Structure 1
Amino acid sequence: MDTHQNTALTRALAEVPGPLPTSGVIHITIPHTDRFTVVGNHLAQHPDLSCTAIGIAVRIQSLPRGAKVGIKALAARCKEGEKRIAAALRELETHGYLKRVRDRLPSGRIITRTLFCNQPTALLGPSHQAAQASPQPATPAPVPVHVPAPVPVHVPVPAPAPGPSAAPPAPSAPPAPLFVPRVPPPTAPKPPRRPLPQPGELTPELDRAATALLSDLHHHAPQFTLSEDDVRRLVPGVAAWLERAARPDTIRRALTDDPPHPLKHPAKLLTYRLTELLPPPPPGVDDLAALARPRITVTPFQTCDDCDRAFRSPTPGHCRDCREHRAGCAPAAA
């Protein structure tokens, strides 16, 4: 029997807009209409939580109120063992996502409640701090991990009720976030795209050379078949490369090397590569002169007038020995 192949993702890949990256994940996003849970990036990309702790937190957040989330209950639902689940719950407690407290019922029975907060940083706001400043009953000490299966409840954050004579709480600085997200949200504004490079002067020679290079791309890479409008729009970018002394084969290789598959918009990919891979202008004569090695002055050889010995000196005369001999003989002659 042949193995059943699921081609749904492959078919959906063809509907992804824009050029696809050559490496890394490609998201195929289908909106949920039912049975979904909203998980913040502060949890999904938490730098200090293990993947097991993040997965356990998502599992707890997706369960309804009153579901059993003890160690044994989670071990019965998940493939992880009790030790890994216990360690993950301790991580969530450390970072404020999970808390276990004891509560006394009206009947006098003491039970353990499990509190799970999907966004613990919201509890650190000024309103929560002002609520904590008001007199409240002492919170019992947390219970160890090996307690019976608890029952989770959602506790709303209390807000301070301003009285008629109560003074407004003093403004406090906002608390520092637990961590800074490394990936910007999808709604973050994107920087404007850089314009297509333009040559200093689009001469007829540059125009003809750029047009010929773009029109001939499909002979080297069939997926780069351009329309006449695309060629006219991309001509200034190729002319800017040619003006910077780039060889035609170098330009062709930079534009067509390793394209994404499938390539749905070749003109957009060429626009991006012409803009982002633009080489620097060639150096001028003055720049090349600055790179030349400085000349080293060499002292020439001279011939001594007395002993005909060769010695280095900028001017003719006597060598060092003859100068010393002359200096020693000068007082005697006097």
Structure 2
Amino acid sequence: MDTQHDNALAHALAAIPGPVPPSGVIHVVIPHTSRFTVVGNHLAQHAELSLVAIGVGVHIQSLPAGTEVGIKTLTARFPEGEVKIACALRELEAHGYLRRTRVRLTKGRVATRTVFCNQPGAVLRSGVVPVAGPAVRSTAPTLVREHIRVPEPEPTAVLEPTPVPEPMPVREPIPVPKPVPVPEAPHAPVRLPSRTAPTQPRRPLPHPQALTPELRQAASALLADLRRHAEELVLSEEAVGELVPGVAAWLERDATTDAIRRALTADLPKPLRHPARLLRHRLTALLPPPLPGVHDLAAPRRAPVTPFQTCDGCERAFRSHEPGHCRDCRAQYWEAA
């Protein structure tokens, strides 16, 4: 009960005279009474025309005379683009179904006259002269049908038509497709040199020459007492143990506890996020040199100065520990001797 049968189709197939072919298409021929066009098999089954050209030819043949059949009009009517429509019209023109000529109108205007022949082979065999339709009023291409005049068995005198020179056909320009841009090969990323200065290695925390229990006790007490003077400097026991050698090095160099406290608590940044790191930096960067000894502070001894003497010969002054003659006079006496 779930399979639907098309009774109309079954009746139509039953009405087909003769045997039904086992495969292939089956034609259900119903005579047309209105709105139909007779199309020859030479066009519908043309061996050299493309399917688009056959379709465009059948469409043009079904239109009434005077209908616009330009490329723009056909492109707006069908989903095919201008390139395919133009190629189809050129195929029909090459096989004699279509003829496009340029006609000069009044006031210097030029129009395209399109003539479609439903049997181009018959026209060539019988030598029929095509009869043009009404004058073209617009510049858009229009359809003009050719009517075939069948010669009678006993032709009478027929006036010869005045030959009209046919203008040279002007082919429509073939649209050139735009070049497709070729993507460039990706280049390796260029690394710019860093503008920041290289990171200097962190200097080690100073250590005293001998970390005595007295120095350890004094340094631990000073570090634990810092939070009384600056509430930001709250240190853990582990941080105090790591910073004790640095404070001991200051104490070993005879720095007072007040001096150490001022150096560690002055101008603290707001907010202070890592107090142990700040104290480590200050204990390392601000470490004072050892105090000089008594002998280092004594005035330097002056070098002995050679006194001046007066030369006994020329009476010039010269430096010497003993009186006598200068260098020049001594040289003269040596030459004389």
TM-score by length of 1: 0.39
Quick one: higher RCO (CA 8 Å, sep 6+), 1 or 2?
A: 1
TM-score by length of 2: 0.39
Return the index of the structure with the highest Cα Rg.
2
